[in-house]
């Protein structure tokens, strides 16, 4: 079960990144070119929020059964400022949950705005903020905190 969740979480990461990048592109283009907030833009707003929420559920499920987190619960102070175990136990989970909250807030606020420009501006601001948090919290292969592969196989 752990390996399946880990693989799904790894694969879905790319769907989250692609959807948020595309939504940011649509929002920036719509905002600066003063375009109409189309059904497609609304679909992407909603889809990005949904995919990120699914990713959070996968991550929380993984967090509950992860041997890395279980080990971190018993680990004593190693002298490192941020160990890999501390990264997954605290930093990754909280930053990613925060990013999903930011995406959900941005999606919800954009939905309720009156003008198309306001919808695009709201989406652009909140999704960019969430993307920044996501990029910090992903355990990239080059990360000094915890390195993981770009894609985990099943």
Report pLDDT for 154.
Answer: 57
Distances (CA, A) of 103 to 39, 49, 50, 57: 19, 6, 9, 15
pLDDT tens digits, 51-72: 999 999 999 998 888 766 666 5
Looking at the chain, the whole-number percentage of residues with pLDDT higher than 70 is 82
Looking at the chain, the whole-number percentage of residues with pLDDT higher than 90 is 62
Using the predicted structure, report yes or no on whether residue 81 has a pLDDT greater than 60. no
Report pLDDT for 29.
Answer: 97
Residue showing tokens 């941005």 = 106
Sign of the CA dihedral 10, 103, 82, 87?
Answer: negative
DSSP string, the chain: -HHHHHHHHHHHHHHHHHHHHHHHHHHHHHHHTT----HHHHHHHHHHHHHHHHHHHHHHHHHHH-HHHHHHHH----S-SS-HHHIIIIIHHHHHHHHHHHHHHHHHHHHH-SSHHHHHHHHHHHHHHHHHHHHHHS--TT-SS----SS---
Higher pLDDT among residues 39 and 151, named by residue = 39
> What is the model's pTM?
0.84
Mean pLDDT value of segment 13-29: 97
Q: Cα–Cα distance between 33 and 98 in angstroms, integer?
A: 30
From the CA atom positions of the chain, what is the Rg in Å? 17
Using the predicted structure, report yes or no on whether residue 21 has a pLDDT greater than 70. yes
pLDDT tens digits, 96-142: 999 999 999 999 999 999 999 999 999 999 999 999 999 998 887 87
């Amino acid at each position: 079960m752990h390996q399946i969740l880990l693989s799904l979480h790894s694969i879905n990461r790319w769907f989250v990144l692609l959807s948020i990048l595309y939504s940011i592109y649509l929002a920036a283009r719509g905002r600066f070119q003063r375009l109409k907030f189309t059904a497609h833009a609304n679909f992407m707003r909603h889809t990005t929020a949904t995919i990120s929420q699914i990713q959070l559920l996968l991550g929380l499920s993984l967090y509950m059964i992860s041997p890395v987190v279980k080990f971190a619960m018993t680990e004593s102070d190693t002298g490192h400022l941020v160990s890999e175990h501390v990264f997954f136990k605290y930093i990754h989970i909280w930053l990613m949950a925060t990013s999903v909250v930011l995406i959900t807030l941005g999606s919800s606020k954009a939905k309720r705005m009156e003008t198309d420009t306001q919808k695009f501006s709201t989406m652009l601001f909140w999704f960019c903020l969430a993307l920044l948090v996501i990029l910090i919290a992903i355990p990239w292969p080059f990360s000094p905190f915890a390195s993981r592969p770009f894609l985990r196989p099943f």
